Amino acid sequence: MIECIDSGEFHVYAPPLGFEALRQAILRDLSLDSAFSVLVTDGAIEGLYHACRTFIGPGEEFLVTDPGWLWPRRFAASSGARVIELPIYDKAAGYRLRPEQLRQAITPKTRLIYLVDPSNPLGSVQTRAEIVEIAELAREAGITLIHDCTYRHFAGEHTLAATYYPEGTITTYSFSKWLGIAGLRLGALVAAPDVIARLAVAAPNNLGASVLAQRAALAGLEHKADWFPAVQDAQLANQASIKAAVDAVPGLDIAVYPSNGNFLAIDVSGASVTPERLCEYYLERNMLIRQGSYHTAQVGDRFIKVSTTVPSEWMAEFCDQLGEAVQVCRRQNAAGSLF
């Protein structure tokens, strides 16, 4: 990044699809070959926005998991689509989408499936067998599958749907989580060349993504093997700290442990405490955790989500206060509203 600034490279626009070296490096990172193409975007979210505006229209149906990540629902809804939620907050099903659920939800109007895997906010990951089935269902029905793989790098094992349904899967890629450059806004869509060509016709970032951010991403990918394992070890150690703290508080239960994302979802429904009040308690102590309702209207009253790519001292502070937080907040309502 310093070289990019010193040389003045940023004075010019980047190529519309992204730097060629970066496009190749993203494919290598996903272990995908040149049968796929890449559109570098201003964060994965911009790619999601563009895909939702390009591939779905009024009267068509958009299938999503609930809980999930809310923004693509809004993007599809703003395209006029009907959003259909498939509930996955089910311990017995491993908090994952069951292919059978998907089969039953598909209609002739279904145009897009949006699968966040690993799941944000639950931390579950679909098995290979499930991905094979989901890919098959999408192919049979001629539906485009958006596989949001934003948290893939934190997963124990992760299967790309693109491997089984290359012609109809759009894989999202983010540099915000594993590389930690959220503020630089860089991500990508990876798909078959004709799908990328269709997206490129009217891409909102046709003048190219940030040159500086692309240099940061390239450097990150180049050095990933040297330092990312330590990041992963540290966030797994943070997960273990939370697990120990949660196990000591009756009524709390971690949804998926270890989580396949850099966060843990903690079910608080057995502790007579609301997620909003707990979040407020921590916010008053300068700690930001998420209330479930940030992710879902259906089961938002059941869980909180805690990020684990934070310094271990922060984690210790969160864990030390958990027992008392639950005790204090029991049967209390939040005073204000949270974002």
Q: Report long-range pairs for 255-258 (Cβ below 8 Å, ≥24 apart).
A: 255/91, 255/95, 255/122, 255/123, 255/124, 255/303, 256/94, 256/95, 256/119, 256/122, 256/123, 256/124, 257/123, 258/123, 258/156
Q: Which residue in 5, 129, 182, 197 binds ligand PLP (CB under 6 A)?
A: 182
Assess 176 for contact with ligand PLP (CB under 6 A): yes
Asked if 174 touches ligand PLP (CB under 6 A), the answer is: yes
**Tokens 């040297």 -> residue:** 226
Segment interacting with ligand PLP, rule: CB under 6 A, options 51-59, 103-111, 174-182, 250-258: 174-182
205 contributes a contact to ligand PLP by CB under 6 A: no
The binder of ligand PLP chosen from 120, 144, 171, 307 (CB under 6 A): 120
Residue among 45, 81, 97, 102 that touches ligand PLP (CB under 6 A): 45
- 8 A C-beta contact, residue 212 and residue 1: yes
Residue 156: C-alpha distances to residues 160, 175, 246 (Å): 13, 19, 22
Decide whether 72 or 325 has the Cβ nearer to ligand PLP: 72
Segment lying near ligand PLP (by CB under 6 A), choices 40-48, 53-61, 92-100, 308-316 = 40-48
CB 228, min distance to ligand PLP, A: 17
Q: Which is nearer to ligand PLP, 122 or 273 (CB)?
A: 122
Q: How many residues does this entry show for the chain?
A: 339
From the list 43-51, 159-167, 241-249, 284-292, the region that binds ligand PLP by CB under 6 A is: 43-51
264 binds ligand PLP (CB under 6 A): no
Q: How far is the CB of 270 from ligand PLP (least distance, A)?
A: 26
Using CB under 6 A as the binding rule, whether residue 171 contacts ligand PLP is answered as no
Query: What part of residues 269-298 is at the interface with ligand PLP (CB under 6 A)?
Result: none
Q: Considering only the stretches 39-47, 122-130, 278-286, 327-335, report the one whose residues sit in contact with ligand PLP under the rule CB under 6 A.
A: 39-47
Contact positions with ligand PLP (CB under 6 A) in 48-107: 69
Q: What is the largest CA-CA distance in the chain?
A: 59
- d(C-alpha 288, C-alpha 305), whole Å: 10
Taking CB under 6 A as the rule, does residue 43 contact ligand PLP?
yes
Q: Answer yes or no whether residue 148 interacts with ligand PLP by CB under 6 A.
A: yes
User: Is residue 109 within 8 Å of 86, Cβ to Cβ?
Assistant: no
Is residue 161 within 8 Å of residue 115, measured between CB atoms?
Answer: yes
Among 116, 265, 279, 322, binds ligand PLP (CB under 6 A): 116
Interacting residue ranges for ligand PLP, rule: CB under 6 A: 43-45, 69, 116, 120, 148, 150, 174, 176, 182, 187
